[in-house]
Amino acid sequence: MAVIAVGARDARRTRLRRKVADNLLAYAFMAAGIACFALFSWYPLVRGVLLSFQQVNFVTDPFWVGFDNFRAVLDDPLFWTALRNTLYFTGLALVLGYAVPFAVAVLLNELRHLKGFFRVAVYLPVMLPPIVTVLLWQYFYDPGNGLFNTVLRGLHLPESQWTQSSSTAMLSLVLVSTWANMGGATLIYLAGLQGIPGELYEAAEVEGARVWQRLRYVTIPHMRFALLVMLLIQVIATMQVFIEPYQLTGTSNPDTITIMVLIYRYAFTVNHDFGLAAATSVLLFAVLGAFSAVYLRLTRDRT
Amino acid sequence: MTVATERPSAGTRLRAPIRQRSRRRGGGPDQGGPDQGGAVRTLVSSAQLRRGHSRAVYFTVLAVTGVLFLLTFFFPLYWMVSGALKAPAELALSTPTFIPRTFHPETYAKAWSELNLGRHFLNTALYALGGWLIQITVDVGVAYALSKLRPVLGRLVLGLMLVSLMLPATALLVPTYLTVADVPIFERNLLNTPWALWLPAAANTFNIYVLKRFFDQIPQDLLDSASLDGAGRLRVLWSIVLPLSRPVLAVVSIFAVVGMWKDFLWPLLVLQDPEIQTLSVALSRFAATGRVPINEMLAGLVIASVPMIVIFLLFQRSIVKGLSAGALKG
């Protein structure tokens, strides 16, 4: 009896010891990762919020200024310009960049030849470093003898000032961005389209559904989830657009300044005011955070 | 755009090799033409495409799409590669030439040495490879511990890491910059050092999530039997888990290297010293001066792109798989 009790206690003790050892080991494995997250993700998150209520000048310690930064940002006409531009970019990018990859994927899914070629082609631009894409298009957009105007001239069509006219500047940025980024969405849609059971199309056809109706009642319902996820991803990404306006039109062009460019100006080039930049980031995050939350919720339920 | 948002989603996922291979999809890439009936059924049936009239329409659409794709996606690259070969005078012509009249391959060598692109190339390669090594080491450690050691509060740690996915990287730009400039506790300034790129990149939820999901599918029995044979946790990781995880390690590695190579805004901020800048940042700086001849700039663009295109052609399958896996989260 006593022997059994002692044995049980020993067993429990060894189990406990093993558990403690396993936990120590686990945290040893995670130590570097947790340190990186703590320093470069969790701490900056808290600090960003604090910063938005502080003034940082590197002479004295940061001090509290209440809502002054937010007030200054909301009073800055450039902020409203940047916001309008960002929404305009996001909207245009949705019109062009959201429909095009889906249409292309549906088309490619019907083509029985050259499948590999089409896939490689559409994804190639995604692989290019963004700065390469943007600089290359800068040459194409050159109003003098850039490639685009040369082609338009050759076809006897009216030429355009592209990035250098306020009416077409944003459109030009969206075109580059769409060219550069549509490959990812296209390939994801293609993978989704291939998962649609062929019998459904057969059945629809037997019922007399025409191609258009099959697309409407078979394809699109099956792709609804992918379409929604890509919509969120695209909105989140395009709201943060930076490199296109930064390189193609410059950081002080009122036609194309975006929220990210404004944050960059506030912090690093014009104002050197980290508080202003942090306040703007918090505003941007408030909007994007909502989209991100929906996106995460959706993908978690599904996967 | 941020690395995180570039990894979109929805669709298939990576499967552990132990699981049954999924059914082959789409009849495989080798299946040709409407003449080969019985393949996959899509919107329009192959049988319908074989009929006389439809057949003509099909091949017209195919040809038009092919030409459009060539023009849209390959021609800009061709223009870039061939433009670098042209003489500056030829590039300035108002009617561009399709094939260079005179070939100047030495422009590439000139850009490499005179613009100091060799240096920037090596910098970028070093950052990408170092970043890859650190990301893999750190993130595999976290994923393995969370998946197989299941520590107390493990779920909380994972949850906190997932929170950072909700944050667009740009929202943290300014505070992260200030943190890197003066790392708390360690009191180090990492600006103008590779660590400013490497350490923040190691905090990568996408990697951890994808790795953990994969590790979760490796049966615990397999690891337990190895433990009974006397293998320690590290040994189990090294000789059982990692070899089984080759496909997912490939995906994570490729995205790590490509992400580091393509990154622009962050290196622009933290690497101000021209000597240590990446190719992307240096090219942007050259363009801003306006003094570099176009042909040398184009050569620079080609040099910055070649490694990415090589990686793409070599690892296409993993990349496409990773795109869909990133679908889950990330």
C-alpha distance from B32 to closest chain A C-alpha (Å):
6
Q: For chain A, what is the domain count?
A: 2
CA contacts within 13 A on the Cβ side of B3: 25
pLDDT for residue B137: 96
* Residues A47 and A76 reside in one and the same domain: no
Q: Which are the contacts of B90, defined by CB distance < 8 A and separation ≥ 6?
A: B97, B100, B101, B102
Residue A272 belongs to some domain of the structure: yes
Distance CA B322, CA B7 (A): 8
B118 CB-contact burial (10 Å; exposed 0-12 / middle 13-18 / buried 19+): middle
Which residue shows structure tokens 């990894």?
Answer: B7
As a whole number, the mean pLDDT across chain A is: 89
Between A250 and A5, where is the model more confident? A250
* Intra-chain end-to-end CA distance of chain B, in Å: 13
Q: The CATH number of the domain where A144 resides is what?
A: 1.10.3720.10
Q: Do A127 and B36 touch (CB under 8 A)?
A: no
Residue A196 belongs to some domain of the structure: yes
Give me the DSSP letters along A50-101: HHTTEE--SSS--EE-TTHHHHHHHH-HHHHHHHHHHHHHHHHHIIIIIHHH
Helix pair B246-262, B195-202: axis angle to 10 deg: 140
pLDDT for residue B81: 93
* Residues A93 and A17 reside in one and the same domain: no
pLDDT for residue B308: 96
**Do B124 and B300 contact (CB within 8 A), yes or no?**
no
Domain membership of residue A25 as a residue range: 2-51
A86 in contact with chain B, both atoms CB, cutoff 8 A = no
CA angle (A177, A183, A187) in 5-degree steps: 150
| pLDDT tens, position by position, A177-231 | 999 999 999 999 998 898 888 888 888 888 888 888 888 889 999 898 888 888 8
A16 in contact with chain B, both atoms CB, cutoff 8 A = no
The residues in A 107-126 lying below 8 A from B, measured between CB atoms, are 107-126
Which residue shows structure tokens 């050159």?
Answer: A142
* Residues A185 and A298 reside in one and the same domain: yes
Distance CA A183, CA B316 (A): 13
Q: Which are the contacts of B17, defined by CB distance < 8 A and separation ≥ 6?
A: B244, B247
Measured between CA atoms, the residue of chain A closest to residue B202 is: A36
In this complex, the residue of A45, A113, A242 whose CB is nearest that of residue B167 is A45
How far is CA B241 from each of CA A32, A197, B154, B216, B330, rounded to the nearest angstrom?
20, 35, 19, 10, 23
Q: Do A30 and B145 touch (CB under 8 A)?
A: yes
pLDDT for residue B326: 61
Nearest of A112, A115, A103, A122 to residue A220 by alpha carbon: A103
Compute how many other C-beta atoms are within 10 angstroms of the C-beta atom of residue A110.
17
**Do B219 and B18 contact (CB within 8 A), yes or no?**
yes
In this complex, the residue of A56, A130, A205 whose CB is nearest that of residue B264 is A130
Q: In this prediction, what percent of chain A has a pLDDT beyond 90?
A: 52
* Residues A177 and A43 reside in one and the same domain: no
* Residues A206 and A170 reside in one and the same domain: yes
CATH numbers and ranges of domains, chain B: 46-104 (no CATH), 115-326 (1.10.3720.10)
Chain B residues with beta carbon closer than 8 angstroms to that of A205: 45
Q: Do A195 and B12 touch (CB under 8 A)?
A: yes
Chain A residues with beta carbon closer than 8 angstroms to that of B328: 299, 303
Give me the DSSP letters along B254-267: HHHHHHHHH--HHH
Give me the DSSP letters along B103-118: --THHHHHHHHHT-HH
Mean pLDDT of B106-135: 94
Measured between CA atoms, the residue of chain B closest to residue A154 is: B95
Name the H helices within chain B.
Answer: 46-50, 52-69, 75-85, 88-91, 106-114, 117-144, 154-166, 173-181, 195-202, 205-216, 220-228, 233-236, 242-244, 246-262, 265-270, 279-289, 294-326
Residue A203 belongs to some domain of the structure: yes
The residues in B 24-63 lying below 8 A from A, measured between CB atoms, are 25-26, 29, 31-34, 36, 39-46, 49, 61-62
How far is CA B289 from each of CA A142, B72, B262, B293, rounded to the nearest angstrom?
17, 29, 22, 11
* Residues A8 and A76 reside in one and the same domain: no
Q: Which are the contacts of A123, defined by CB distance < 8 A and separation ≥ 6?
A: A183, A184, A186, A187, B312, B319, B320
pLDDT at B330 exceeding the cut of 50: no
Q: Do B26 and A194 touch (CB under 8 A)?
A: yes
| pLDDT tens, position by position, B104-116 | 888 999 999 888 9
B309 CB-contact burial (10 Å; exposed 0-12 / middle 13-18 / buried 19+): middle
pLDDT for residue B29: 40
For A54, list phi and psi in degrees, rounded to 5: -125, 165
CB burial string B44-80: b at 16+ within 10 A, e below: bbbeebeeeeeeeebeeebeebbeebeeebeebbebb
**Do A186 and A101 contact (CB within 8 A), yes or no?**
yes
| pLDDT tens, position by position, B153-181 | 999 999 999 887 777 777 889 999 999 99
Between B306 and A96, where is the model more confident? B306
In this complex, the residue of A44, A130, A215 whose CB is nearest that of residue B43 is A215
Distance CA A86, CA A262 (A): 11
Nearest of B6, B4, B12 to residue B163 by alpha carbon: B4
* Residues A97 and A214 reside in one and the same domain: yes
CA R_g for chain A: 27
Mean pLDDT of A41-70: 88
Residue A65 belongs to some domain of the structure: no
Q: Name the token pair of B267.
A: 């290196």
Nearest of B212, B234, B151, B203 to residue A27 by alpha carbon: B151
Q: Do B62 and A111 touch (CB under 8 A)?
A: yes
In this complex, the residue of B44, B169, B320 whose CB is nearest that of residue A211 is B44
pTM here is 0.86
Distance CA B287, CA B281 (A): 10
* Intra-chain end-to-end CA distance of chain A, in Å: 51
pLDDT confidence bin for B27, thresholds 50/70/90: very low
* Residues A291 and A158 reside in one and the same domain: yes
pLDDT at B10 exceeding the cut of 60: no
Residue A64 belongs to some domain of the structure: no
Distance CA A187, CA A102 (A): 9
Distance CA B173, CA B2 (A): 11
User: Of A127-136, A180-189, A287-296, B67-76, where does mean pLDDT reach its minimum?
Assistant: A287-296
Does the CA dihedral A34-A36-A38-A41 come out positive or negative?
Answer: negative
ipTM summary value: 0.88
Secondary structure of residue A119 in the 3-state scheme? helix
* Residues A23 and A154 reside in one and the same domain: no
The residues in A 160-179 lying below 8 A from B, measured between CB atoms, are 179
Residue A183 belongs to some domain of the structure: yes
**Do A146 and A162 contact (CB within 8 A), yes or no?**
yes
Mean pLDDT of B137-150: 93
Distance CA B54, CA B40 (A): 18
User: Which amino acid belongs to residue B93?
Assistant: L
pLDDT confidence bin for A6, thresholds 50/70/90: low
Q: How many contacts does A have with B, using Cβ atoms within 8 A?
A: 347
Compute how many other C-beta atoms are within 10 angstroms of the C-beta atom of residue B89.
10
* Residues A92 and A196 reside in one and the same domain: yes
* Residues A198 and A119 reside in one and the same domain: yes
Residue A58 belongs to some domain of the structure: no
In which element (H, E) is residue A156 found?
Answer: none
Q: What is the dihedral of CA B136, B138, B140, B143, to 10 degrees?
A: -140
**Do A135 and A244 contact (CB within 8 A), yes or no?**
no
pLDDT for residue B55: 87
Between B184 and B126, where is the model more confident? B126
DSSP state of B152: T
Residue A15 belongs to some domain of the structure: yes
Q: Name the token pair of A51.
A: 């910063």
* Residues A113 and A45 reside in one and the same domain: no
